[in-house]
Amino acid sequence: MTPKEKAKELVNKHYNKMVYLKHQYNPNEVGDASKQCAIIAVDEIINLCASGLSETKYWKEVKQEIENL
Per residue in 12-56, pLDDT tens? 988 888 777 667 777 778 888 889 999 999 988 888 777 666 677
> Tell me, what's the pLDDT at 37?
92
Q: List the domain boundaries for the chain.
A: 3-68
* Burial call 39-59: b when 16+ CB within 10 Å, e when fewer: bebbeebbeebeeeeeebebb
pLDDT at 24 (0 to 100): 75
Q: In whole angstroms, what is the distance from residue 40 CA to residue 43 CA?
A: 5
pLDDT at 22: 66
- pLDDT, one tens digit per residue, over 47-59 is 877 766 667 788 8
Indicate the pTM of the whole model.
Answer: 0.67
Q: Is 43 helix (H, G, I), strand (E, B) or coil?
A: helix
**CA separation for the pair 55, 57 (Å, rounded):** 5
